[in-house]
Amino acid sequence: MLKIRIIPTLLHKDVGLVKGVRFASDRRVGSALQAIKVYNRRGVDELAFFDITASVDGRSPDLALIDELADECFMPLTVGGGVRSLGDVQALLGVGADKVALNSAIIENETLISDAAMKHGVQCVVAVIDVKREGEGWRVFSHCGQRATGLDPVEWAQRCEKLGAGEIILQSIDQDGTMEGYDLEITRRVCEAVSVPVIASGGAGNYEHVAQACIEGKASAAAAASIYTFTEMTPREAKQHLREKGLPVRL
């Protein structure tokens, strides 16, 4: 059985890290470089870094920044934000990213998934799906939650897998930053619909929330930001809690 992964998320805007609630990022929380140095010592399985306004602003990835961060990051690093072409994917991998997260661009050009997977391998391609409740169901949003796509998240996840995504980050806009727990229902639905690993994201406020994402939500990994930024809780202790629940983790 694959080990459950704990993945802190770094949200970058302008010149530093930010965190807010439901994709409204209005609180500055320090520098990415300092955060990476801290996580290097905290038993983190992987790290995810997102430039959250790059796609909205029409900017390309900041390769110089990613190069600097990757040099200091001693764990697998997933990078997203502003990726619009196969060239962007190749450039990010070239400066040290281990995986590239694709979100807004693949809504408009889904072949970017298959092109990237064919050239660099499925293990490098991560499809990010931002979801929000609408009526009795959920819909996919792009451009940092600002654009409705009309896509069903379960069907879109299946499509991303078919095109070659090696894993999926499922981000709940409704739960983001609330620290009230993950959206377990949509997480479970997506996990049951695909065979690639699904990373639950949005809502973790304590270790039990992380366990619920993996047990009830059936996620292969749990990403979070606020729990590790605004509390004394740590990724290592989260993994210890999962082990006590009988889940396989790497300590």
What percentage of the chain carries pLDDT values higher than 90? Answer: 86
The reported pLDDT for the residue numbered 15 is: 82
Residue in this structure with the two tokens 């004394």, named with its chain if needed: 232
pLDDT confidence bin for 2, thresholds 50/70/90: confident
Q: 55-64: per-residue pLDDT in tens? A: 888 899 999 9
The reported pLDDT for the residue numbered 1 is: 65
Tell me: pLDDT of 43 over 90: no
Cα–Cα distance measured from residue 175 to residue 29, given in angstroms and rounded to the nearest whole number = 19
Over residues 189-216, the mean pLDDT reads 98
Report the alpha-carbon angle 137-100-170, nearest 5: 20
Cα–Cα distance measured from residue 238 to residue 126, given in angstroms and rounded to the nearest whole number = 23
Tell me: pLDDT of 232 over 70: yes
Residue of 127, 151, 134, 12 lying closest to 68 (CA atoms):
12
Over residues 23-29, the mean pLDDT reads 80
Task: Count CB atoms within 10 A of the CB of residue 70.
Answer: 17
Q: Which residue has the higher pLDDT, 161 or 27?
A: 161
Tell me: pLDDT of 52 over 70: yes
